[in-house]
Amino acid sequence: MRQTNLLRTILASLFAFVMAILTGCGGGGDGSPGGNAGGTPSFSLSLNPSSLNVQKGASGTMLVTVTPQGGFNASISWFHSGLPAGVTPTIGPAATAMTYNLQLAVDATAQSGSYPFTLIGKSTGVNDATVQGTLVIPGPTPSFSLDLVPSSLTIPKGSTGNTMVAVTVSGGFSGVVAFSLQGAPAGVTGSFTPASSAVSSGLQLSVNNSVAPGVYSFSVQGTASGAPNASVSGSLTVTAIAQPSFALTATPSTVTVAKGSAGTSTIGIVPAGGFSGTVTLSASGQPAGVTVAFSPSSATTSSSATFTVGSSVTAGTYPIIINGTASGAPNASTTVSLVVTQPSGGTQITMIPCLQQNDVILFAFQDGSGPWTAVAGNSGAYSFSLASGRGAVAITLRDQVRPDEIFTMVLMGSTAELALQMQDPCPNFQPVSGTYTAGEGHLVAIDVGIAGTSNFTAPAGGHSSWTAPAVMKKPLGDLFAAESIPGGATLKCILRRDITLSGSNPSVGGDLDFGGAEAFVPGSAAVTLSGLAPSGQVITGICHLWNPGLDVGVVGTSFSFGGGSLPPIAVVPASKLRSGDLQSITATAMPPDYATSHGTSPMLLSQYWMATPQDVTLNFQAAATPPTVILSQSSPHPRLRFTSNFAAPYSTSFIFNVVQVQGSSSSRGWQVLMSPGWISGGGTFPVDTPDLTSVAGWSSSWDLWPAVNLLWNSVNSGSSSGNARVDGGRHWTCNYTAEIIP
């Protein structure tokens, strides 16, 4: 019996243990299914929202909810998969228990698209939990914006004003924007040209006379298919109807002139209120002995006022009133202070610059290293005084045919050297015409008196007319003509003496017939070259005939590619020469990289003058040291500084040229020539393109252009005598060239 009770007790305990196990494995206490309460710990995850849109450069947040089971309350480690490059996830606790914030930061480099991803939660001793989500990175939204340039307009009543609407696109927008004016006051209308555009449109605002003066706002709206509208605001100031008027300015307002000389000031005309008329200029208040001349006397933009001071005028300061009158506008005036000084001592020099097809628009001089001073011309002659023993002149020229080609020539030398320059009265020039007969396709070169060479190609049949466009009028001159094969030797020459060139339509004596008795076969001269590298150079030879009645006649040419000699070159035979005739034989040696060596590879020239035709040895000199060239100033106008060496054998002169070209008919340039008297003893010297900004009458528009490439060239010259144009005279040059890109 006792065993039976013990057995019953053991069985009851075993039943209770089994029921406990069954209950922990998921059965409820009442035998129904149940949770994991009191069972194995675990957890599950959910996302809200499950899909998130985040723009590039922004971030978004999802709420992660953890549902614990079986008494789970441990910490969770977080992992993810499926997120693209450029997306950075960050997870941290949220405001309530068992919730977390998942922040997804999307940088600008992330690719647009829809990305499913998995968030994974891990904890010790339990299975991982996962949840799926989606990140959507939208592509850029096509859009555009508008700008007004300018955004503020001032328009008188009854007038119009213009601005530009600029379109800036983004997000791949490629449509066309239609424009409309919004918010403008009554009486103000706008027209767009074009009305629709993908780039820009011109907006013209018209203000009716009924609009009251004041400041008004308006906007321009743009609409386009597939993109949100855009607008931009502007400001309109309406003013009362302005009366046409003008004002006068004087640059410089103070003009200093020595007695017996002249100075200039530019009188500017500044219109206002729609004035567009012509202003007539006059002067008042000048003392006796002072004259004021305007060129032109009536102008619309500006005029040059020249103040000429007689030698009897007392030194002092004189206010001179410049008056302007115009139809339909009130008169205006400005004052110029004329400072009359005593003339400086020194040597008086008069120059007569005669340069074909060019007008002198400024003449200035410099005494030693003193300031540059403008000189007024008197019938084409310009007079000034030098007291320091040396000086310089600057002559600015404008091409008569292409007026935007402006060139300034500067001569620098001793007083004695400058006194010899430009002393002859300006000659008159005229065209000279005739006919020639030569072999068909042959080249014909004709030189008449003092003029450049005129070149022609004989047409079919060989007979044609010719014209030398600008031949100096003078009592007598010579004519020289040569017939040659293209790229080959001279075949025949014609030399006519003592042609009358002073009258109108001068006769040159009939047809130049290279097959007739007048024509002669030229002689030839052997040309040996000395002092050159043995190869690699392009050698060009040429023979010229010169006398006081013939500026230059091309007799023959010759070519060679390196080596110690040229092919024989044509010369005028002794039987055709007379006293005063000279011939020169010149050879130029150009290395292949002359134009691309950036000023380090020289082009050399050697020349020999002779009264009697003969074989010639041309001795080339060693190259001069390349100049150092820097851009010493780039704004507002470029200035160049050349540093070179003035030494034998190149001790006759140094020239540098600077040229800028824009288009086919616009250019700016400087040429500066220095003589031994300026450099005073030779050696290394710097020289700059002069700054004429302070010179009366100078215009900055004549100076070098900023931000435009500059091509420079330097020429060192030497001679065996003071004048190379003598029998037996030799002449040498060394040239360098390069381009400066600002």
User: Would you state the pLDDT for residue 534?
Assistant: 58
According to DSSP, the β-strands at 152-156 and 227-239 are parallel
441: left (phi over 0), alpha (psi -120 to 50) or beta: left
Whether 483 contacts 557, CB under 8 Å: no
DSSP 678-736: HHSS-EEEEEE----TTSTT--GGGSPPTTS-EEEEEEEEEESSS-SSSTT-EEEEEEE
**Is pLDDT larger for residue 310 or for residue 516?**
516
566-599 confidence digits (pLDDT tens) = 889 999 999 999 998 999 999 998 887 776 777 7
User: Would you state the pLDDT for residue 151?
Assistant: 93
Tell me the average pLDDT across 430-439: 93
Query: Would the pLDDT of 548 be above 70?
Result: yes
What is the number of alpha carbons within 13 Å of residue 488 lying toward its C-beta? 9
Q: Is the pTM of this model over 0.95?
A: no
User: Would you state the pLDDT for residue 25?
Assistant: 33
User: Which residues, 6+ apart, have CB-to-CB distance to 38 below 8 Å?
Assistant: 23, 24, 70, 71
Whether 364 contacts 354, CB under 8 Å: no
Tell me the average pLDDT across 171-181: 92
Burial class, 659, CB count within 10 angstroms (exposed 0-12 / middle 13-18 / buried 19+): middle
* DSSP conformation class of 24: H
670-706 confidence digits (pLDDT tens) = 999 988 777 766 677 788 889 998 888 899 999 999 9
506-534: burial string, b at 16+ Cβ within 10 Å, e else: bebeeebbbeeebbeebbbbebebeebee
What is the number of alpha carbons within 13 Å of residue 356 lying toward its C-beta? 11
In the chain, % of residues over pLDDT 90: 48
Return the SS3 of 83. coil
Query: Would the pLDDT of 300 be above 90?
Result: yes
311-361 confidence digits (pLDDT tens) = 678 888 898 999 999 999 999 999 999 988 876 667 788 888 877 778 899
User: Would you state the pLDDT for residue 15?
Assistant: 35
User: Among 346, 353, 484, which residue's Cα sits nearest to residue 422?
Assistant: 353
DSSP 425-493: PPPPEEEEEEEEE--TT-EEEEEESSS--EEEE--TTSEEEEEEEEEE--SEEEEEEEEE-TTS-EEEE
365-380 confidence digits (pLDDT tens) = 988 888 898 988 877 8
Residue type, 553: G
User: Which residues, 6+ apart, have CB-to-CB distance to 456 below 8 Å?
Assistant: 436, 443, 444, 445, 446, 464, 466
Q: Which two tokens stand for residue 352?
A: 């007569």
Query: What's the chain's average pLDDT?
Result: 86
* DSSP conformation class of 595: G
